[in-house]
Chain A
Amino acid sequence: MNKEPLSIALVGNPNTGKSTIFNALTGLRQKIANYPGITVERKVGTTIIGGVLHKVIDLPGAYSLNYKKLDERIAYETLIGSYEHEEVPDLVLVVVDSSNLDRNLYLASQVMDLGIPVMLVLNMTDVAEGKGIKINPDLISSSLGIPVVAISAKNKTEIEKLKGEISNFDLSKPEALKWNPDDSLKEAMDLLINDWIKLHTDIPDRAQAIEALRLISEGDFKDAFYTFEDEGKGRATIRKAQQIIEQGGGNPMAAEVLLRYNFIGESTSEAATHSAQSEVSITDRIDAFVTHKVAGPVIFTLVLLFMFQAIFSWATPFMDMIDLLFVEGGNWVANTLPDGMLNDLLVDGVIAGLGGVVIFLPQILFLFFFIYILEGTGYMARAAFVMDGFMTKVGLHGRSVVPLMSGFACAIPGIMATRTIENWRDRIITIMVLPFMACSARLPVYALMIAAFIPSTTVLGIFTLQGITFFGLYIFGIVMAVFAAVVMKRIFPTGQQTPFIMELPAYKMPKWSVVFQNTAERGKVFITEAGKIIVAISIVLWFLASFPKTEMPQVVQSESTEYDSSFDITENPESYQLRHSFAGRFGKMIEPVIEPLGFDWKIGIGLITSFAAREVMVGTLNTIYSIEEEDGESSTLKEKLINDVNPETGKPVYSIATAISLMIFFALAMQCMSTIAIVKRETNSWKWPTAMFVYMTALAYISSFIAFQIGSNL
Chain B
Amino acid sequence: MALFLSDISSPDTYRVKNIQGADTTRLLEMGITPGIDLKVVRKAPLGFPIEIKVRGYLLTLRESEAKCIEIEG
A positions within 8 Å CB-CB of B? 63-64, 66, 68, 99-100, 102-103, 106, 131, 133, 217-218, 251, 253-254, 257-258, 261, 283-284, 287-288, 291-294, 296-297, 381, 385-386, 388-390, 392-393, 398, 497, 499-506
Contacts and interface: CB of A to CB of B under 8 A. Distances in A.
Nearest to A63: B29
B33 A258 contact: yes
A296 B49 CA distance: 13
Given A257-B33, A385-B60, A297 B65 contact: no
Interface string B29-40: 111011000000
Given A66-B29, A254-B24, A287-B42, 20 more contacts: A99-B57, A100-B57, A103-B29, A103-B30, A258-B34, A261-B28, A293-B43, A294-B45, A297-B45, A386-B45, A388-B48, A388-B49, A388-B60, A388-B62, A389-B48, A501-B23, A501-B26, A503-B59, A504-B57, A504-B60
A322 to B, nearest CB: 41
A386 B44 contact: yes
A450 B22 CA distance: 53
8 contacts: A64-B26, A106-B29, A251-B24, A291-B42, A291-B44, A500-B65, A504-B57, A506-B58
Contact of B62 (A292, A392, A393, A506): A392
Interface in B7-64: 19, 22-31, 33-34, 41-49, 51, 55-62, 64
Given A63-B29, A64-B29, A501 B44 contact: no
Given A100-B55, A500-B61, A66 B25 contact: yes
Contact of B57 (A66, A296, A390, A503): A503
B44 A103 contact: no
A500 B28 contact: no
A100 B42 contact: no
A377 to B, nearest CB: 14
Contacts of B58: 283, 287, 503-506
Contacts of A505: 58
A339 B46 CA distance: 65
Which of B22, B27, B43, B60 is packed against the most chain A CB atoms within 10 Å? Answer: B60
A456 to B, nearest CB: 39
A261 B43 CA distance: 28
A501 B65 contact: yes
A296 B45 CA distance: 8
A500 B62 contact: yes
B67 to A, nearest CB: 12
Contacts of B59: 501-504
A66 B23 CA distance: 12
A501 B55 contact: no
B31 A103 contact: yes
B33 A385 contact: no
A434 B33 CA distance: 39
Contacts of A253: 24-25, 28
A218 B34 CA distance: 20
Contacts of B19: 254
A103 B26 contact: no
A133 B23 CA distance: 30
A288 B49 CA distance: 15
Contacts of B47: 389
Contact of B44 (A100, A288, A389, A499): A389
A68 B56 contact: no
B45 A389 contact: yes
B35 to A, nearest CB: 10
B56 A99 contact: yes
Nearest to A504: B58
A385 B28 contact: no
Closest 7 pairs (CB-CB, A-B): A389-B46, A504-B58, A257-B28, A253-B24, A500-B62, A103-B31, A499-B23
Contacts of B44: 291, 293, 296, 385-386, 388-389
A261 B33 contact: yes
B60 A501 contact: yes
Contacts of A217: 25
A526 B28 CA distance: 39
A253 B61 CA distance: 19
A577 B48 CA distance: 61
A102 to B, nearest CB: 5
B57 A103 contact: yes
A502 B60 contact: yes
Nearest to B34: A258
Contacts of A261: 28, 31, 33
Contacts of A497: 22
Given A66-B29, A253-B25, A499-B23, A100 B56 contact: yes
A489 to B, nearest CB: 15
A385 B30 contact: no
Contacts of A284: 41
Contacts of A385: 44, 49, 51, 60
Which of A288, A296, A501 is packed against the most chain B CB atoms within 10 Å? Answer: A501
Contacts of B48: 388-389
A66 B24 CA distance: 12
B47 to A, nearest CB: 7
Contacts of B51: 287, 291, 385, 504
Contacts of A501: 23, 26-27, 30, 59-61, 65
A398 B49 CA distance: 10
Which of B30, B41, B61 is packed against the most chain A CB atoms within 10 Å? Answer: B30
A177 to B, nearest CB: 20
B31 A102 contact: yes
A390 to B, nearest CB: 7
Given A63-B30, A499-B65, A502-B60, A257 B25 contact: yes
A367 B64 CA distance: 33
B18 to A, nearest CB: 9
A68 B60 contact: no
Nearest to B27: A501
Which of B26, B43, B51, B61 is packed against the most chain A CB atoms within 10 Å? Answer: B26
Contacts of B43: 293
Which of B24, B27, B28, B64 is packed against the most chain A CB atoms within 10 Å? Answer: B28
